[in-house]
Amino acid sequence: MDYNVNFLCFVFGSHEKAAESLGYTARHYRKIRKKIEDGEEIPQRIEKLLQTKVRELQLGGADHACR
């Protein structure tokens, strides 16, 4: 999971933009990141959303997924 968060930050340039791409506020995304960093379990739907967005960026290219 940590890889997904770091990958999104790298592609979008900031955690705030990564949060926006997922439809979350910066505050909510920060809470998700903190849970991941602390090793806490996150809800399955959030985990799948992160994985799907990363896969979309890897397969379709950053330009396609950023729209």
- In tens, the pLDDT along 11-53 reads 999 999 999 999 999 999 999 999 999 999 999 999 999 999 9
pLDDT bin (cut points 50, 70, 90) of residue 1 is confident
What is the pLDDT at residue 56?
A: 94
What is the pLDDT at residue 60?
A: 82
What is the pLDDT at residue 27?
A: 97
List the one residue out of 22, 26, 50 whose CA is nearest residue 36.
50
pTM (2 d.p.): 0.83
